[in-house]
Amino acid sequence: MKTFLLGKDRLSAKKVLDILNKELKPILDEETYQKVNHSYQETQKVAKGEKPVYGINTGFGPLCSTKISADDTIKLQYNLLKSHSAGVGDFLDDNIVKTMIIIKAHALSFGYSGVQPKTIERMLWFLENDIIPLVPEQGSVGASGDLAPLAHLFLPLIGYGYVKYKGEIFETGELLQKLGIGPIELGAKEGLALINGTQFMSSFGVLSLVRMKNILENADIIGAMTLEALMGSLRPFDERLHRLREYKGALYVAHKFRTLLEGSEILKSHENCERVQDPYSLRCIPQVHGATWNTFLHFKEIVHTEINSVTDNPIIFSSEDIISGGNFHGQPIALPLDYAAFSMSEIGNISDRRTYLLLEGNVGLPKLLMKNTGINSGFMIPQYTSAALASENKSLCFPASADSIPTSLGQEDHVSMGSISARKLYKILDNLEKILAVELVCAAQAFDFRRPLKSGIVLEECHKVVREYIDHADEDRIFANDLKKGVEIIQSGKMVKAAEEIAKSKNINLYGGYYELFGIH
């Protein structure tokens, strides 16, 4: 198995996935081990000294002026983890929790946090053995770090809290005893280093980035299928047009659509029709989808910067050079999380409008995409579902980062609320997969009515994937089953993979020169 050198190699969303899938193993090499240990030893010097240094021999937050005796510096760290474990709500998804561990281990391995190497090694042991701490999703305000969730995440290091192991829930102390291993002993500053940081927000950011990439690739394919079914024009996707307003996202989308529809008999069949122009939801796909792809690029840059950063406090440069600053503040990632949320919501808005166009009964399609309507309602109600979800997403678009409620008796008087931004983005992505599933089911149904004409070879392959799981509907049935399968097709990325494979086999340049740019490496 390949290894990832914590504190040395650059972490990316793709590498996080590889670690989660156990295709890449995170390790501390000897040089990094010594660097981390040196930072720990320097911190212990401070703990034994008389000079007050925040979080090492002082209290926290509004208690930063309270000096702690050398004898109590260790107890202080244990109390910190216990008292800050005040989260509520549902427990986080396992992959979010594991990603938090990966990112925190990487951040601590830079050697500026004053932790012991064995603390990082124990985190990796939890990860390797799939021992998943139970972390409530609510309680962080996104500044001073993601305190509550990180406290719950690392309680098991000292034998407290609850963990999931082999499908069962255990009290940590009980499981450690069962496995014949004891809790670690914290040193000065370690509790603070563990809970100070943006790893909750960042983990949502990483996995949201991965989901955004897959969703957008699917949205482009589904949009192309709808364009074909509605006999839309490819002229608005002309590269010359987009070179006059040179946004990378629009150029990328336009190129993909031209490739997906290349050689289309459907397109050729109406090239001399009298329609002047298509509705915006077809004609402006490069501008709308492209704008969200541009957001993706910015979001990727921010996420990758954040997961390769030291975000706790104070920062230990040496025992004589310690800076108490604000690298824990979530604002740099909170704003992009909100930006990503409403940009992805817009993909749902335009998708719902395209679904509506498919049902109108124009350009030779039967009304509600079924021939015998009256006795059959056709695809009327799936569009209701799409509309409901699009509306729900709009309600989730208020930026959490626009708010701030002072905490810590005013010591922490501006907070990012980025944890709320992160959770809202995830919910929007959940809804968006379902909205696109509605369009996918309807577009595939409408596509069938263009037979015997065929589309381009790549898009035909994508339609074939849909028909492997969802049959054409000649009469009403329980459409919830079709939508569920549609969501599964989108989440699995099967259409995207099929498009890539057929394009590669036929030497078709599906992504133009944009493959690396819009990747997650």
Active-site pick, 33, 40, 54, 511: 54
Tokens 């000079």 appear where?
Answer: 51
Counted residue by residue, the chain has a size of 521
Whether residue 314 contacts residue 323, with contact meaning beta carbons closer than 8 Å, is answered with yes
> How far is residue 421 from each of residues 109, 377, 400, 415, measured CA to CA in Å?
27, 39, 5, 12
Give the CA-trace dihedral at 71, 77, 82, 84, to 10 degrees: 130
Whether residue 77 contacts residue 191, with contact meaning beta carbons closer than 8 Å, is answered with yes
Query: Cα-flanking dihedrals φ and ψ of residue 67, to 5°?
Result: -75, 135
| Listed residue (216, 400, 204, 399) closest to 302, CA to CA | 204
Tokens 């509600």 appear where?
Answer: 368
Read out DSSP for 70-137? Answer: GGGHHHHHHHHHHHT---EEEEPPHHHHHHHHHHHHHHHTTS-S---HHHHHHHHHHHHTT-EE--EE
Whether residue 506 contacts residue 457, with contact meaning beta carbons closer than 8 Å, is answered with yes
Query: Cα-flanking dihedrals φ and ψ of residue 415, to 5°?
Result: -125, 160
What is the rounded distance in angstroms from the CA atom of residue 56 to the CA atom of residue 186? 12
| Listed residue (77, 79, 57, 76) closest to 66, CA to CA | 57
Structure-token pair, residue 370: 């079924």
Question: What residue type is 267 in one-letter code?
Answer: L
Active-site residue flag, 54? yes
Long-range contacts at 298-303 (CB < 8 A, ≥ 24 apart)? 298/336, 298/339, 299/205, 299/208, 299/209, 299/212, 299/336, 299/339, 299/340, 300/13, 300/209, 300/520, 302/205, 302/332, 302/333, 302/336, 303/13, 303/202, 303/205, 303/206, 303/209, 303/333, 303/336
| Listed residue (218, 213, 283) closest to 254, CA to CA | 283
Q: What are the residue numbers of the active site?
A: 54
